[in-house]
């Protein structure tokens, strides 16, 4: 009880905002290279054996990596119920497309090598490509729409309402800015997948991954810079005016929110957050140089740093907003008014402190056991025990 009293409601809200960011970034850093390898698969492997080399670099670990996605979804549901309700209803079709693409991955991994038919295997290779390329694009498009503001409003009893037709809600997400952010996401994770293949593969697969990954990294840098400039000069931000109640009830309608000239005004208020985009650019640039100079471990680490910087720059720029509303700014969800109760956040934090170290320790052990390269000889010598 003493600890419960020491951890104020305000502090717990910030902690869970940080933990949500940690889970989402952890998902991008781990499952991100799985997506990248899938998106690169048709291009780095020209023979069946080469494609199996690429697949077997991620086959043993992708399920464990996807735990971060499940944890992120669970954290949103438990710690930020209004965010879960509003986002999953408004992005329903987009979420369905992501889940459909994610379903293709395990099916592709398990069934691709069950038959020797060239058509059979080629079809599953393209299914793995869809499963690797579609989720990053949709996640990026979703982030772009969050920065623009989502067209929802809240009724007096806090029920989220969206306007437009069922299919229009999906097609409406495909605006120029969100598509640009989708390109940032896809190119960044393709570079990350290439860095992983540079570490885990060798020969032609490694060489092609380096070449394609370097180009993808350059595209990621250019589109990230373009998105930043667009955000600075072409998109309005959001701000809370008046007194901010940080430990009050979770009712977004209690706050007064207005549109501002730019999201980047946050950098004038909190100059230290410039470190996030700097890390993004530096990490991406050094990863590109690493791919070109045949470095392996450091290239993957630089790629992770770049992803960390890019994703954290979004969260820090938007803080304290989590899901702004373009239709009704006052309904925007923030860190201070869309969380679960004080007790719920406290119990969840204790659970996280117990189980997160276990997950991290197990993950580290798995990667230690599976350390080493996947070679074509491994594939040909173990054709019945690999993907």
| Total-model pTM | 0.92
Task: Tell me whether the omega of the peptide bond preceding residue 128 falls within 30 degrees of 0, making it cis.
Answer: no
Location of structure tokens 């499940």? 70
Q: What range does the domain containing 216 cover?
A: 2-381
Residue 102 lies in a domain: yes
Residue 244 lies in a domain: yes
Residue 212 lies in a domain: yes
For residue 145, count other CB atoms closer than 10 A to its CB. 24
CA distance 121 to 108: 9
Q: Indicate the number of domains in the chain.
A: 1
Confirm if 217 and 187 have CB atoms less than 8 A apart: yes
**Around 161, how many Cα atoms within 13 Å sit in the side-chain half-sphere?**
10
- Per-residue model confidence (pLDDT) at position 17: 95
CA distance 262 to 237: 5
Residue 386 lies in a domain: no
- Per-residue model confidence (pLDDT) at position 386: 64
Residue 287 lies in a domain: yes
What is the DSSP secondary structure assignment for residue 117, as one 8-state letter?
-
Output the tens digit of pLDDT for each of the chain's 387 residues.
566 667 889 999 999 999 999 999 999 999 899 999 999 999 999 998 899 999 999 988 888 888 888 888 888 899 999 898 888 888 888 888 899 999 998 898 888 888 888 899 899 999 999 999 999 999 999 999 999 998 888 888 878 888 765 565 667 788 899 999 999 999 999 999 999 999 999 999 999 999 999 999 999 999 999 999 999 888 999 988 878 888 888 888 887 888 887 898 899 999 999 999 999 999 999 999 999 998 889 999 999 999 999 999 999 999 999 999 988 888 899 999 889 999 999 999 999 999 889 888 988 898 888 888 888 887 877 766 567
CA distance 48 to 112: 11
């Amino acid at each position: 009880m003493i600890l419960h009293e020491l951890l104020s409601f305000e502090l717990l809200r910030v902690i869970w905002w940080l933990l949500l960011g940690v889970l989402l970034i952890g998902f991008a850093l781990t499952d991100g290279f799985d997506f990248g390898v899938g998106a690169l698969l048709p291009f780095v492997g020209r023979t069946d054996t080469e494609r199996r080399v690429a697949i077997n670099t991620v086959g043993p670990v992708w399920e464990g990596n996807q735990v971060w996605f499940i944890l992120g979804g669970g954290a949103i549901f438990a710690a930020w119920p209004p965010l879960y309700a509003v986002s999953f209803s408004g992005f329903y079709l987009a979420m369905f497309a992501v889940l459909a693409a994610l379903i293709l991955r395990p099916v592709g991994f398990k069934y691709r090598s069950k038959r020797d038919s060239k058509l059979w295997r080629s079809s599953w290779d393209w299914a793995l490509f869809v499963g690797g390329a579609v989720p990053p694009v949709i996640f990026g498009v979703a982030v772009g729409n969050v920065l623009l503001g989502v067209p929802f409003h809240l009724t007096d009893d806090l029920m989220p309402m969206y306007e437009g037709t069922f299919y229009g809600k999906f097609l409406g997400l495909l605006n120029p800015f969100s598509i640009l952010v989708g390109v940032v996401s896809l190119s960044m994770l393709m570079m990350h997948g290439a860095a992983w293949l540079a570490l885990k593969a060798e020969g032609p697969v490694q060489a092609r991954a380096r070449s394609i990954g370097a180009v993808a990294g350059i595209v990621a840098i250019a589109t990230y810079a373009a998105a930043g400039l667009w955000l600075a000069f072409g998109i309005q931000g959001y701000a809370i005016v008046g007194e901010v109640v940080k430990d009050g009830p979770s009712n977004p309608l209690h706050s007064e929110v207005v549109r501002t000239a730019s999201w980047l005004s946050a950098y004038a208020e909190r100059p230290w957050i410039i470190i996030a985009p700097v890390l993004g650019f530096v990490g991406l640039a050094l990863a590109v140089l690493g791919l070109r100079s045949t470095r392996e471990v450091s290239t993957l680490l630089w790629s992770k740093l770049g992803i960390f910087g890019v994703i954290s720059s979004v969260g820090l720029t938007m803080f304290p907003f989590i899901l702004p509303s373009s239709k009704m700014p006052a309904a925007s969800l923030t860190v201070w008014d869309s969380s679960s109760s004080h007790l719920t956040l406290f119990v969840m934090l204790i659970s996280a402190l117990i189980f997160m170290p276990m997950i991290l320790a197990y993950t580290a052990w798995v990667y230690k056991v599976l350390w080493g390269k996947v070679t074509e000889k491994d594939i040909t010598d173990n054709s019945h025990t690999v993907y």
